[in-house]
Amino acid sequence: MRVLRTAAALLLSVTVLFTAAPAAGAVDAAPARGPDLPTGTVQSPDGRTLFVDAAGRVVEPRGFDVDKYDETTAADLRSIADHGFTLIRVAVSWNRLEPARDHYDPVELAKLQRLLDRADQDGLLAVIDFHQDVYGPAFGGGDRGIPPWATRDDGLPFVPDPNDWFAGYFQPAVQAAFRHLYDDADLRRWQAEFYTHLAAELRGHRSLLGYDLFNEPFGPVAGDPSDPAVLAASSAALEQGRLAAMYQRLIDAVRTADQRSWLFVEPTVLVGEGVPTALPGFTDPRPGAPRLGYAPHFYDTAVENGADWNPSDGFIEAYTAAITAYPRAHRMPVLVGEWGPPNSRTPGNTELVRRQVAAMAGFASAWTMWYWCRGTGGYCALGTDALPAPGDQPAFGPYAPALAGRPSAESWTADAYTVTFTTTGGWTELAAPPGARITVTGTDRARLDTARPGHPRIRVPRGATVTLTVDAPSA
């Protein structure tokens, strides 16, 4: 018996080392086209609800917000895919798509269709984000959000603050507009009809992961908005009442046209202050298992207001505690729809990006960073040289878009990805730069396919418990 145990220990300590470089005659060398649409979920040992595809592989999409669909080029999407990402979050505007009641702009719809066509071709998944900022264009929000014809402000005043756009939410006219959107029967019906119409237009795209039903929801505040207790109470009342009712209406509206997509609900932005959501559970009327997810944003308020992040402020810990309970209670995958600082180049914000990436390994099923563009500052994920912006490198680290197994532990950094999992057979797809060192411990029967540069695949026999490590090459 002791001899058998020793032999088993030697087998489990076997390490196979590969280098992710293009290789002639690679095993099963047909290029991968990215992960397929998740068709279900599975629970991980650490409590996350993870997406799985039809083959049973765990799918962990990640990528970037593309702020305006008409400004996102084919080259942008190709670059996102070439960097190893598999997900985009596409901001759309009710105002632009239905500029007049029951009149849908064919030019705007065609632009959106073309973007999803490109995503189909590039192996990307896409989440459609029903975007609004300070309700809509009636309040200086550009052309995004709820159209003027669906805006009722009771003639109340609106005085914008040029130094604090978010303060617009507390203006009397904006508060009234949200109240009418939630309460008025005709506005409820028109909003639901818009969602049904768009779902009917877009269904059928391979890339369509689903819909983020309402960006950064807000509503009436009963009292002084500078009082944190008032804000927290108003947020809870909104999430338990008006917002919950809206989400169920919109879930039902999308489902009349689309039974396939995933539908994500967002909490209010107070989650960034460590305030847990008060949202209830929701009913998905599609046949079979529900396809509902949770889509919080991951922003530090002080950083959003221009400060460099203070690692001792407890933000990461408070945020993680605030968002964990709800998706676990309802077994919902977590899509972090927006995250990242406005300037990653400062010392604190560089550390913030690193800590956010590490934290999401413990609670997120997918994420999209705000956002994909080139620049010398702001939120742009790329510098003018098209390389990751200084400080944003951890977001570009190696990972597994599709894992043929169940992870018991995962970690991500700018330079390395490590996962321990029990394999279910099939190919594990990796995002790893050429020259990356790939190590598999626990079996001597791993096979590597490097036919697609930057996207190696590895196969391990079913039932093996292995640790896979991907180390990016040194700069």
Kindly state the average pLDDT of the residues 423-438.
92
470 near 428, Cβ under 8 Å? no
Listed residues 357, 377, 396: the one ending a domain: 396
Query: With 90 as the cut, is the pLDDT of residue 86 above it?
Result: yes
Kindly state the average pLDDT of the residues 218-237.
94
Pair 350, 372 in one domain:
yes
Sheet holding 366-369, edge to edge: 292-294, 262-265, 208-212, 125-130, 87-92, 62-66, 366-369, 335-336
Pair 391, 404 in one domain:
no
Kindly state the average pLDDT of the residues 435-440.
92
Pair 22, 168 in one domain:
no
Query: With 50 as the cut, is the pLDDT of residue 169 above it?
Result: yes
Query: With 70 as the cut, is the pLDDT of residue 239 above it?
Result: yes
Query: With 70 as the cut, is the pLDDT of residue 34 above it?
Result: no
For residue 140, give every residue at least 6 positions away whose Cβ sits within 8 Å of its Cβ, in sequence order, or none.
Answer: 134, 160, 168
Kindly report the average pLDDT of the chain as a whole number: 91
Pair 425, 338 in one domain:
no
Is cis: bond before 371, omega within 30 of 0? yes
pLDDT of residue 475: 56
For residue 338, give every residue at least 6 positions away whose Cβ sits within 8 Å of its Cβ, in sequence order, or none.
Answer: 65, 89, 297, 298, 299, 368, 369, 370, 371
Kindly state the average pLDDT of the residues 148-170.
94
What is the share, in percent, of the chain residues with pLDDT greater than 70?
Answer: 93
Q: Evaluate whether residue 212 is within a structural domain.
A: yes
pLDDT of residue 14: 65
Compute the distance between CA of residue 27 and CA of residue 40 in angstroms, rounded to an integer. Answer: 29
Pair 289, 406 in one domain:
no
Instruction: Give the distance, in angstroms, between the CA of residue 382 and the centroid of all CA atoms in the same chain.
Output: 18
Pair 89, 139 in one domain:
yes
Pair 12, 106 in one domain:
no
Residue 33 pLDDT class (50, 70, 90 cuts): low
pLDDT of residue 1: 38
pLDDT of residue 67: 79
Compute, in degrees rounded to 10, the torsion defined by CA atoms 229, 234, 239, 242.
170
Q: Evaluate whether residue 54 is within a structural domain.
A: no
Pair 416, 297 in one domain:
no
Kindly state the average pLDDT of the residues 31-51.
83
Query: With 50 as the cut, is the pLDDT of residue 440 above it?
Result: yes
Compute the distance between CA of residue 416 and CA of residue 429 in angstroms, rounded to an integer. Answer: 15
Pair 326, 435 in one domain:
no
For tokens 């402000």, the residue is 153
Nearest CA to 475 out of 440, 449, 436 is that of 436
Pair 70, 150 in one domain:
yes
Q: What are the tens digits of pLDDT across the range 130-141?
A: 999 999 999 987
Query: With 70 as the cut, is the pLDDT of residue 259 above it?
Result: yes
Query: DSSP string of 29-53?
Result: -PPP--PPPP-EEEE-TTS-EEEE-
Pair 338, 422 in one domain:
no
**Phi-psi domain of 42 (left: phi exceeds 0; alpha: psi -120 through 50; beta: other):** beta
Q: Quote the number of domains for the chain.
A: 2
Q: Evaluate whether residue 55 is within a structural domain.
A: no
Instruction: Give the distance, in angstroms, between the CA of residue 312 and the centroid of all CA atoms in the same chain.
Output: 26
Q: Evaluate whether residue 56 is within a structural domain.
A: no
Kindly state the average pLDDT of the residues 2-11.
35
Listed residues 333, 362, 396: the one ending a domain: 396
Range of the domain at 434: 1-49+400-475
Listed residues 338, 373, 396: the one ending a domain: 396
- As given in the structure block, the two tokens for residue 189 are 């019906």
Sheet holding 436-441, edge to edge: 15-20, 436-441, 465-471, 416-423, 405-412
* CATH number of the structural domain spanning residue 331: 3.20.20.80
pTM of the full structure:
0.93
Q: Is 301 helix (H, G, I), strand (E, B) or coil?
A: helix
Q: Evaluate whether residue 134 is within a structural domain.
A: yes
Pair 358, 406 in one domain:
no
